[in-house]
């Protein structure tokens, strides 16, 4: 996985443009991209690393162009001069028509692709689970998207974006870690955001009251957690499970917004009444945070309370929510809900690129220009 990061080189004086239509089309020498952008933070000739897609939208097209060029030429080892590989690109469902058309222009005119198909992320997450209808809950780093999909059609009027995500979990986790006095004494200044992120990504397990298992398993775990970090053995004695409560109590990190369970309910209630049962029966939890063990069960517990207390409860309403996972026959993706979108993309690419009529090819682009993407996209 290539991190979506870029860092500008501070020793490059060549001019830049903001429209993304001039300059080099390959991995730009003005930027360091991917994991290298994070590794080289201490070097004097490299600026701070940042995501070219803050909040899921392109802030600067030169930055985005540099990252795409790096991804194609360095990550995928493709030659832009002899490009013979069509591209399936996934985008947030909030992107505007202008953003889609500019992206189409860049890929055909700057990257010389023979074909392009753009599809919205929630659809691919559903396809990765073998579904056409469902509610996708995508917990990202800075925000969470809740998107209902009915028969492969995103219900844009009912989607919700919450300003809470993995970064807030890290903030809360760091607060809990710093309450462990022995850990503070051992790590000192190394007990920072980087350590918190490492714990979240590699060792965090959620065990809270309400999980559907035996009494012994439903109590918060108090067993010490030990692992190697930067060459030394680290032991954490503090209970960390409550860090995910920021999703259900945003006020813990000073956020004013709906909690996750309430937002799910609101999104489903915004859809036609005859479709709501299918949505409650088709929940999909994805995003990097979805890998945290026990998170789905904790979300299920909060949703059960919402369903029981709902003012819209009736004889025809479902009594419980149902989550779906990647099918077992995709053995390489077992227990990887964060890869649902990627898996759905591989499935979609095989279907779409089997026939040039399904995607925007060079003939289409030469005849219609960037607007062609609106005629052949999902």
Q: Please determine, for residue 274, whether its predicted confidence score (pLDDT) is greater than 50.
A: yes
Helix (H) or strand (E) holding 153, with range, is: strand 153-154
**CB-based contact 42:10 (threshold 8 Å):** no
Q: Please determine, for residue 54, whether its predicted confidence score (pLDDT) is greater than 90.
A: no
pTM recorded for the entire structure: 0.86
Return the residue matching tokens 């030169």.
62
pLDDT the model gives residue 107: 97
pLDDT the model gives residue 10: 77
pLDDT the model gives residue 311: 61
Give which of 180, 171, 232, 234 is closest to 200, Cα–Cα: 171
pLDDT the model gives residue 39: 84
Q: How many CB atoms lie within 10 A of CB 12?
A: 12
pLDDT the model gives residue 41: 73
Query: Contacts by 216-222 with C-beta closer than 8 Å and gap 24+?
Result: none
Exposure string for 72-100, b = 16+ CB within 10 A, e = fewer: bbebeebebeebeebbbbbbbbebeeebb
CATH of the domain spanning 126-164+258-338, picked from 3.30.420.40, 3.90.1150.10, 3.40.50.12780, 3.30.565.10: 3.30.420.40
Mean pLDDT (whole number) for 120-146: 96
What is the rounded CA–CA span in Å between residue 323 and residue 80?
A: 42
pLDDT band at 341 (very low <50, low <70, confident <90, very high): very high
Give which of 159, 172, 166 is closest to 143, Cα–Cα: 166
Mean pLDDT (whole number) for 26-50: 81
Radius of gyration of the chain (CA): 22
pLDDT the model gives residue 38: 83
pLDDT the model gives residue 335: 87
pLDDT the model gives residue 15: 47
Tens of pLDDT, residues 78-109? 999 989 999 999 999 999 999 999 999 999 99
DSSP 276-294: HHHHHT-EEEESGGGGSBT
**CB-based contact 71:29 (threshold 8 Å):** no
- Dihedral sign for Cα atoms in the order 327, 331, 332, 336: positive
Tell me, yes or no, if the two domains 84-122+345-378 and 126-164+258-338 fold the same way.
yes
Structure token digits, residue 247 = 């999703």
Structure token digits, residue 52 = 């070219």
pLDDT the model gives residue 378: 66
pLDDT the model gives residue 270: 97
- 84-122+345-378 fold: Nucleotidyltransferase; domain 5 (3.30.420)
- Dihedral sign for Cα atoms in the order 58, 62, 68, 71: negative
Mean pLDDT estimate for the chain: 88
Tens of pLDDT, residues 227-269? 998 888 988 988 888 899 999 999 999 999 999 999 999 999 9
SS (H, E, C) 136-147: EEEECCCCEEEE
What residue ranges do the domains of the chain occupy? 1-82, 84-122+345-378, 126-164+258-338, 166-244
* Contacts with 296 (C-beta within 8 Å, 6 or more apart), sequence order: 285, 290, 323
Tens of pLDDT, residues 107-117? 999 999 999 99
* 3-state secondary structure (DSSP) of residue 79: coil
Tens of pLDDT, residues 277-297? 999 999 999 999 999 989 999
Q: Please determine, for residue 70, whether its predicted confidence score (pLDDT) is greater than 70.
A: yes
Give which of 118, 93, 94 is closest to 105, Cα–Cα: 118
pLDDT band at 23 (very low <50, low <70, confident <90, very high): very low
Q: Please determine, for residue 21, whether its predicted confidence score (pLDDT) is greater than 70.
A: no
pLDDT band at 313 (very low <50, low <70, confident <90, very high): low
Q: Please determine, for residue 171, whether its predicted confidence score (pLDDT) is greater than 50.
A: yes
Tens of pLDDT, residues 141-151? 999 999 999 99
**CB-based contact 180:195 (threshold 8 Å):** no
């Amino acid at each position: 996985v290539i991190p979506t990061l870029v860092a500008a080189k501070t020793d490059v004086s060549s001019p830049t443009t903001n429209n993304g239509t001039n300059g080099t089309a390959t991995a730009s020498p003005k930027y360091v991209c991917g994991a290298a952008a994070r590794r080289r933070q201490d070097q004097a000739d490299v600026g701070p690393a940042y995501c070219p897609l803050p909040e899921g939208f392109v802030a600067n097209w030169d930055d985005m162009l540099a990252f795409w060029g790096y991804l194609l030429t360095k990550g995928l080892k493709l030659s832009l001069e002899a490009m013979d590989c069509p591209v399936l690109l996934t985008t947030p469902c909030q992107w505007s028509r202008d953003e889609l058309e500019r992206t189409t222009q860049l890929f055909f005119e700057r990257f010389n692709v023979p074909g392009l198909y753009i599809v919205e992320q929630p659809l691919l997450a559903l396809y990765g689970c073998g579904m056409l209808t469902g509610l996708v809950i995508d917990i990202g780093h800075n925000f969470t998207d809740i998107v209902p999909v009915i028969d492969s059609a995103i219900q844009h009027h009912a989607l919700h974006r919450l300003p809470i995500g993995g970064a807030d979990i890290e903030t809360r986790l760091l607060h809990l870690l710093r309450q462990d006095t022995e850990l503070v004494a051992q790590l000192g200044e190394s007990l920072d955001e980087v350590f918190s992120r490492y714990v979240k990504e590699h060792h965090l397990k959620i065990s809270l009251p309400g999980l559907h298992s035996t009494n012994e398993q439903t109590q918060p775990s108090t067993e010490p957690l030990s692992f190697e970090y930067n060459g030394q053995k680290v032991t954490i004695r503090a209970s960390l499970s409550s860090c995910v409560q920021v999703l259900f109590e945003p006020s813990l990190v000073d956020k004013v917004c709906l909690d996750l369970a309430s937002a799910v309910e609101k999104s489903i209630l915004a859809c036609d009444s005859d479709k709501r049962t299918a949505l409650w029966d088709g929940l999909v939890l994805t995003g990097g945070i979805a890998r945290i063990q026990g998170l789905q069960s904790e979300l299920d517990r909060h949703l059960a309370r919402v369903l029981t207390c709902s003012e819209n409860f009736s004889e025809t309403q479902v009594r419980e929510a149902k989550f779906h996972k990647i099918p077992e026959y995709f053995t390489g993706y077992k227990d990887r809900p964060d890869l649902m979108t990627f898996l759905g993309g591989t499935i979609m690419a095989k279907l779409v690129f089997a026939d040039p009529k399904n995607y925007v090819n060079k003939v289409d682009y030469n005849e219609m220009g960037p607007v062609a993407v609106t005629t052949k996209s999902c």
